Structure 1
Amino acid sequence: MNIEPFDAAIVGGSYAGLSAGLQLARARRRLLVIDAGQRRNRFAASSHGFLGQDGRPPQHIAADAQAQLRAYPTVRWLDASVTEATRTEGGFELRTHQGDAFSATRLVLATGVVDQLPPIEGLAERWGRAVFHCPYCHGYELQQGRIGVLARSELSMHHALMLPDWGQVTLFLDEAFSPSEQQLRELDARGVAIERARVRRVVEHATVELEDGRRLPMDGLFTLSWTRSATPLAEQLGCAIDQGPMGEFVRTDAMKATTVPGVFACGDLARAAGNVALAVGDGALAGAAAHRSLLFPSG
């Protein structure tokens, strides 16, 4: 079997992968980008907080960036899922679900993460529309209205204490944790209402229905999502994985290099938390670092 060779391959063609690819394409490197088409923010109607793109639909931002990257003559784009990544003497070999095989001297992982939400009825279908995780991304649009925080653990205190800058906050404890006396004083100082009844489900736009039958309408809800890597490729390659407060992420150094020589990681896959702007910056650094490593293998 002839395996098509590339200087670098990027797995994941969302914001981080596109940004990494632009650096390598502009360095005139032969580049392969393989993308499964599953952006993390595909559920959101608009993206916020990214300079120059504030308020645009995320699919439009990604489509424009993809068109710009694919215009470079050294770039090959493949719509596929990578099922296997292995180290070889000269770099790495990738295999797709379609059975295609490719080799690359350097590898950039930008596959993103999967959000695992609390098992509350009605929550998943409202994710990115009325249920969010990032106040900076979605808080402003709630127009200082009624904001609910669905607790998952004591970490939900972070949401509860931040979000009064964006609206009138109710913390739904849902038996996830019991605030200490100090935490109760902090919540009171921020004007946060506390609801201790169990949450039964979310209905209508963002109405929280409690086990005692009460319904509390909200303009938006925030909750923590646990995250896991969208693919097992980093583990297959032997990259070190760290556990953050909201899930796992690939360990990288300041230049986005993983613990496996020649493998770089960027975006939400390689951060404890992130957004579009951070993913783009991460990708730019990873792409430049991958190119630099081709020039100076021992540096």
Structure 2
Amino acid sequence: MNDVIIIGGSFAGLAAALQLGRARRRVTVLDTELPRNRFAGHSHGLLGHDHKPPLAILSESRAQLARYPAISLVTARAEGISGSIDDFSVLTADGERFRARRLILSYGVVDQVPDVPGFAECWGKSIVPCPYCDGFEAAEQHWGLVWSGLQSHNQARLFLDWTDKLTVFADGHDIPTDIRAALEHRNVPVVDGRITEIAHHRGHLTTVNLDSGSNVAVDILFAHPRNRPSASLHESLGLATVETPAGITLKVDERRQTSVSGIYAAGDLTTPFLPSVTQATSQGAMAGIFAQQSMLA
């Protein structure tokens, strides 16, 4: 039997595995090898790995874990979980079954990009969600922000640390008059109408096209589409969740334990605002440490 099974082997999952492997705990990582940021050319803000392709960082991380004999990396999708603390059972899509005393869920989320021509092709390249991840490289350029709710007002204020050329696209939302006035005071224009197309060249945005017939040129577009967990295991387990403007996240306590004893969670699955590789790595490490400590005799 494993000490811990980790479901999801991106940054949070591998960070958890590293801590457990160094503690000589037997751990199996089940991963589909489809990380959320696989569309991005570079990852930013992770100390020691700044401006490296995210897939390259993950590949290097997996290679480093090979020196720990207690860690097993398995390419598989977990389809079902049964049992309880000290005796969990995980069934994979190909029929293999693994048992463990503890579980760590780090299978992340899937972004539900809108059905707008060109959006998916630009996602992760010139349409991005996080200024801390991509803002420095696009500083002082013309930014666009797709309005997604009242939280977008704070995002617009935040973006002005990187650029003084920002356009907000209402995209059919009714932006309150006082917020429009506040944006105008900061020299941030609001463009009404729905976005009908993202014109681009090989994923590099050229214009945002609207149903009014106007086309607005921007260099980078920030958008925050809703997301959903990339698996439904938390639903079958009855884990408590939290509703956020972006989607649901798993509820965890200060030790990263979910509402079910013996099941921990980390990464984007638990991060409602400004998820990042740095946060995922930190949370994964703590989930691994707390899972280990919960098994002490």
- For the aligned pair, the TM-score class normalised by the smaller chain equals over 0.9
Distance 2:199 2:253 in 1: 44
Counterparts of 1:44 and 1:195 in 2: how far apart (Å)?
A: 28
1:24 aligns with 2:25: no
RMSD (CA atoms): 1.4
**Partner of 2:91 in structure 1?**
95
- What is the match of residue 189 of structure 2? 193
**Quick check: 117-126 or 76-85, which moved more?**
117-126
Aligned to 2:169: 172
Q: Could you list the per-position Cα deviations for residues 1-24 of structure 1 after superposition, in whole angstroms to 9, with x for gaps in the alignment? A: xxxx21111011000000000110
Query: What does 1:90-239 correspond to in 2, within 5 Å?
Result: 90-167=86-163, 168-181=165-178, 183-204=179-200, 205-206=204-205, 207-239=207-239
Query: What corresponds to 1:81 in structure 2?
Result: 77
Shift of 1:88: 4.1
- Give the C-alpha shift of residue 290 in structure 1: 0.2
Alignment check: 8 A CA contact 1:109 1:266 kept: yes
Q: Is the 8 A contact 2:146 2:168 kept in 1?
A: yes
Whether 1:253 and 2:253 are equivalent positions in the alignment is yes
Query: Quick check: 1:110–1:267 contact (8 Å CA) kept in 2?
Result: yes
Contact 1:164/1:191 (<8 A) preserved: no
Equivalent AA in structure 2 for residue 179 of structure 1: P
What is the CA distance between 1:89 and its match in structure 2?
A: 6.8
Match of 2:279 in 1: 278
State the one-letter code of the partner of 1:258: T
The answer to whether the aligner puts 1:43 opposite 2:44 as a matched pair is no
Using the aligned pairs only, state the percent identity: 38
Between 129-138 and 159-168, the greater mean CA deviation after superposition? 159-168
Q: Where in structure 2 are there 5+ consecutive unaligned residues? A: none
* Greater than 4 Å deviation, 4+ residue runs: none
CA contact (8 A) 1:21 1:31 kept: yes
Question: For structure 1, which segment, 19-28 or 65-74, has the greater mean C-alpha deviation from structure 2 after superposition?
Answer: 65-74
Q: Once the two structures are superposed, what CA deviation does each residue of 1:73-98 show, in whole Å capped at 9, x if it has no partner?
A: 11111001001011247421001111
d(CA) in 1 for partners of 2:292 and 2:85? 19
SS at match of 1:105: strand
TM-aligned CA deviation for residue 228 of structure 1: 1.2
CA deviations on 1:36-76 (whole Å, 9 max, x unpaired) are 11101000000011111111111111111111113211111
- Give the CA deviation at 1:234: 1.4
Is residue 262 of structure 1 aligned with residue 259 of structure 2?
no
Question: Matched residue pairs, number?
Answer: 291
Question: By how many angstroms is 1:237 displaced?
Answer: 1.6
Q: C-alpha separation between the residues in 2 aligned to 1:105 and 1:177? A: 50
- Give 1:254 shift: 0.7
Instruction: Give me the whole-angstrom Cα distance separating, in 1, the residues matched to 2:121 and 2:262.
Output: 39
Give deviations 1:142-174, integer Å, cap 9, x for gaps. 131111111223332232222122221000112
| Shift, 1:211, TM fit | 1.8
CA contact (8 A) 2:37 2:124 kept: yes
TM-score by length of 1: 0.94
Question: Would you say 1:288 and 2:285 are equivalent positions?
Answer: no
Q: Distance in 2 between matches of 1:237 and 1:43?
A: 30
Moved more, 67-76 or 159-168: 159-168
In structure 2, what residue type is equivalent to 1:169?
L
Q: Is the 8 A contact 2:85 2:262 kept in 1?
A: no
Contact 2:17-2:27 at 8 Å conserved across structures: yes
Deviation at 1:212, TM superposition (A): 2.7
> Could you say which residue in structure 1 is the equivalent of 2:241?
241
Q: Which runs of 5+ in 1 are unaligned?
A: none
The question of whether the paired residues in 2 share the 8 Å contact of 1:146 and 1:169 is answered with yes
Q: Distance in 1 between matches of 2:251 and 2:84?
A: 22
